[in-house]
Structure 1
Amino acid sequence: MDTPPELGTRRYNQVSATIRAIIEQIQQIWQTLSADRIEDELLGEAGAVIAEAAMAGQFSVADAAQAYVAAQMATQGGLSLAQAALLPRLLPPGFVGLAPGGGRLETLLYLPGIGVRRRIAAGLPPDEAMIGGLVDMTMYIATAIADVARTADQVAMAAHPSCVAYVRVVQLPACSRCIILSGQMYTRSEGFLRHPNCDCEIFPLHEDEWPGVATPQQLFEQLDKEQQQKVFTVAGARAIRAGADIGQVVNARRGMDTTHIYGRDLQVTHEGATRRSAYGRSRSRAGDDFARFAGQRFGEATSARYFRSTRTPRLMPEEIFRIADDRDEELRLLRRYGYIT
């Protein structure tokens, strides 16, 4: 029987392989596009094919989430797979078509076209502008699929009574902001702090279980000197090697107090922060001041292939976990907004 870490590795590989396969499709499509017509093409058939591929990737990783959580709980002494089959079922279409934060995925995937036009206006040759646009597109798609995988995992954990917490697992290469959170344990409903292109994963936990996840210091020591300096800066890496606390070194730069996505810097806020907030405890554990990102926006269903559209604002799972008082309330809202049966 697979062990919990092996199952986690398999889940990570499944999500990574899905992202790579979708990005390869997008690269082939992108090669057929032209810089002078890129915005029109992204509004037309090419853009529709790109969005369809990205949503297929989202569906795939969401579809595998419940089996992953059920297998983890079974190996850790929770419900058997047969018992887990009787639990509320996760609905993969409910996760499809959403951009990180809850906006429309189609809108997000149009932004690389605007980026191409702006690069050309700034004086870049069309070929270089198109390369920059492709980089933007692959980052948006990779982030959108990885976010769905983590969100679906958390919804599956909410539906599984054996799951009480999760551990953040960081895979190298990784940025300094993620490394200092490696091995941190969170309650199952705590939001997952991430950034564009973040591929960190959720490791579901049964009560009293704790897998062998690398600590921030262990990850730092796995990097060679050049890699340490690239991730933590020359001065930061030197300070850590000299014995400085890795969390304090990273947080001194306040790297997690802003995030750049959708073409602009989004500022974090202290407004309304409580000790039950999505990110408050994780920031506190990492040695930072008590802070959290602003609340997630409401999303709207966008893909007719995967689920029906609605004009009613739809709560994101992260927002449901933030506002629900207990598991029963979580399940009620998850059902109401189409994430589980």
Structure 2
Amino acid sequence: MMATAADLAAGRYRQVARTERALVALIQRIWRRLSAATIAEDLEGEAGAAILAAVVAGQISVAQGAQAFVAASMAAQGGAGVAEAALTAAAFAGFAPGGGSLETLLFVPAIGVRQRLAAGMPAQEAMLGGLADMAMYATTTVADTARSSAQVAMAADPQVVAYTRVVNLPACSRCIVLAGQQYAYSEGFLRHPRCDCQTVPLREKEWAGVQSPRDLYEAMSEAERRRTFTVAGSRAVGEGADLGQVVNARRGMSRPDAATTSEGTTRRGLYGRRVRRTGGGTARIPGERYARTTQSRLTPEEIFRRAEGRAEQLRLLRRYGYLV
């Protein structure tokens, strides 16, 4: 029996969640060997390099599954495999959500540890706070990569007209009220730190298999409802209030908004090699080991914002190395 779209969405969620759990476990093992007194040096050295490599590997892992997930979802909805381009998983790795430096983002927990120490917090507690920060940045990066790569895979498949938001419990109130919402396939995804919601591609504008906000609310225990919506909010919903009126869904939610990334722009990088083949120049930046291209590399999110129509999206996604 062919898997349903709901089955495929659940499978994709489990794949990303497994990757995140393995990444957090590795970070915890590394973190146990670190000291609050030397945390900055540690994250600038081998420990930081190991964490960075693990996050990059996680990004590649979830990106590698994106196009197969989209193709299977289309097949489950009666479509056929007609992708117009192949996704390049490595092109999504090495930069933070929104296009910034992943290496810089993964150093921020060291700053947090130092700030906690300066505020008088015991070293052990400061390090626990730093570990929580690192886990949040790492898992948010992987989750954003999973969604971004899936969105690019959707653009490469002309059957996809939209995507819907699938929310998995436990979830915050902001995500619950967005469950089942449908968006154009190129529209940016609203998320927050630690958000693990998934996108599911749609061949048609409707898909009845997605749980609505009310379905998710009914599936929660009373304790979960009170914790998620507050006691007063849970009572209001139970008495018939609209979930969207109880929760300000967009508070704390954002879309990756950086226009460019420097990842992959060195002479050896995927995009850098492509620019040099087409006659583009490179220049060495003071303090960096390798020369970089003099052309900025657009993020997928910025490409979707700028491009008019699928053909232009595909042209730019190929140009910047996300598709081949």
**Structure 1 length-normalised TM:** 0.84
1:307 to partner: Cα distance: 4.2
Q: Deviations over 1:160-196 (max 9, x none)?
A: 0111111100000000100000011111111110000
Tell me if 1:256 matches 2:246: no
1:243 to partner: Cα distance: 1.1
Aligned residues: 302
CA RMSD of aligned residues (A): 1.9
The one-letter code of the counterpart of 1:58 is Q
- Mapped contact 1:98–1:302 kept (Cα < 8 A): no
- Mapped contact 1:73–1:205 kept (Cα < 8 A): yes
Inter-partner Cα distance in structure 2 for 1:169 and 1:178? 9
Matched with 1:275 is none
Tell me if 1:195 matches 2:192: yes
Matched with 2:260 is 298
Q: State the secondary structure of the residue aligned to 2:163.
A: strand
Matched with 1:148 is 145
Percent identity over paired residues:
54
- Mapped contact 2:98–2:256 kept (Cα < 8 A): no
Inter-partner Cα distance in structure 1 for 2:257 and 2:58? 26
Matched with 1:272 is none
Q: Deviations over 1:290-330 (max 9, x none)?
A: xxx68434211169897466443221111111121100010
Q: Deviations over 1:57-112 (max 9, x none)?
A: 000000110111011112212123xx44xx31101111001111110111000000
**Structure 2 length-normalised TM:** 0.89
Q: Deviations over 1:9-42 (max 9, x none)?
A: 1111111001111111111111111110000110
1:211 to partner: Cα distance: 3.8
Tell me if 1:325 matches 2:308: yes
Matched with 1:335 is 318
Matched ranges for 1:94-113 at <5 A:
94-113=91-110
Matched with 1:4 is 5
Q: Aligned in 2, Cα 1:323/1:205: closer, same or farther, shift over 3 Å? A: same
The one-letter code of the counterpart of 2:263 is A
Q: Aligned in 2, Cα 1:121/1:182: closer, same or farther, shift over 3 Å? A: same
Structure 1 segments, 4+ long, off by >6 Å, are 303-306
Structure 2 gap ranges (5+): 273-291
1:221 to 218, 222, 242: 218
Tell me if 1:315 matches 2:308: no
1:209 to partner: Cα distance: 4.9
The one-letter code of the counterpart of 1:319 is E
Q: Aligned in 2, Cα 1:95/1:101: closer, same or farther, shift over 3 Å? A: same
- Mapped contact 2:259–2:301 kept (Cα < 8 A): no
The one-letter code of the counterpart of 2:127 is M
